[in-house]
Chain A
Amino acid sequence: MTNKINNQDDQYPALFSAAEEDLIRSRFAAFNERIGLEPETPTYAVNAFQKKLDVAEKGSSSPRSFGLRSLILAVLSSLSIGILITRVALMPSLEAARSSSPMIEMKGEQASYQLLKLKVDDPNRVGRHAAVAAVSAGLAIRTEESSSEFKLAIRGLSSLSADHSQLKQILGLNSSAQGDIYVVLSKP
């Protein structure tokens, strides 16, 4: 494939040879892969959009709208619900460990999990997104948050489930990643 601009318009002479353009094009594709961009609309995104269209159809005459502010609110409320659900689900073990602090529980949990440590500018924001994606995908999670760190224990990540793709994308995990994962997000 050659540069359309170079071919169509003499005003803009070719700046790169065909071989150079091929190399640059392929490296842009590799760069996109590095930052998580997929060449086609991923199936999970199409499915998620279809669900929103269905909701809009069942709901009022105007479609449900999610601005960025409402998205952030949704993220926070989903997170609270996620924590609530996991709290209820894990109530027996929490009862048994009532005397120990949450930190000790998380540390104990860490032993049986694959550890993933990530340095990000805003650990809490990334952690909350990951938590919401995990809860939306039906995964059991536990979280712990401080001003500088966000810890997230995820149980039952599958390499086969398309529903887990978004979470993997947020955490920069390969699509084949699976099992129980303990993520520690902190500032660089």
Chain B
Amino acid sequence: MELRDAIYTKYCSKKESDRRWAVGKMYEAYSRPLMAYLKYKFMGLSLAVLEEVLQDAFLRLITTTSAPSSADTMQAWIYKVVTNIVIDDIRSSNTDAELSLDELGESEKSSKEFWASGEDQGRVAERCVDEKLGVFSKRHPERAASIMLQMDGLGIREIAEIYGRTEAAMKQFIYESKKSLKPLLFDCLELIAE
């Protein structure tokens, strides 16, 4: 039996110890993309605080009354339920969590400015993209997170549940996000095209 199926079966079991085991495995297997999304969205909160809030939300899965309809939809269900709990918790605490990425700095350097130290072209392109991704993530944290999660291999259905959108709307959102990222990276990407 696949781990995913085992988690689903135990989560739907009436035995509380089975449900606890399942929630432990859910956290271990599925919490990272959520953590990444939350860190982009609430850049003003430290990882330690986000980890606590996220763990608290996962703990509440032990007693929640709803359940995923199948093992196939379980991951998407977890993302939907946990994201809702976390965002409610953070917003109701009135913390100034949605701060910008000021500590990462914002720059409007052109690609030419990355040539200073005579590095090879690949490295220059990397530094250029790093800089621009920092700017993009500061301006559009949700858009940046959606591209990052999709490039990281997470399915559209799962990303859509995190964002509380339909799959079609999510596809459109990611496409639009990439479209808005492209002009920012134009100079950098020219470096690897040469």
Contact = CB atoms under 8 A, between A and B. Distances in A.
B20 interface: yes
A107 interface: no
Interface in A100-126: 120-121, 126
A133 B104 CA distance: 24
B178 A15 contact: yes
Interface in B20-79: 20, 23-24, 27-29, 31-32, 35-36, 39, 43-44, 46-49, 51-53, 55-56, 58-60, 62-63
A35 B179 contact: no
A32 B93 CA distance: 26
Nearest to B182: A15
B36 A37 contact: yes
B160 interface: no
A35 B17 contact: no
B156 interface: yes
B53 A68 contact: yes
Contacts of B181: 24
Contacts of B49: 68, 71, 129
Interface in A47-73: 48-50, 52-53, 56-57, 61-69, 71-72
Interface string B74-97: 000000000000000110110100
Contacts of B39: 35-37
B31 A41 contact: yes
B148 A45 contact: no
B125 interface: yes
A9 B171 contact: yes
A23 interface: yes
A170 B62 CA distance: 29
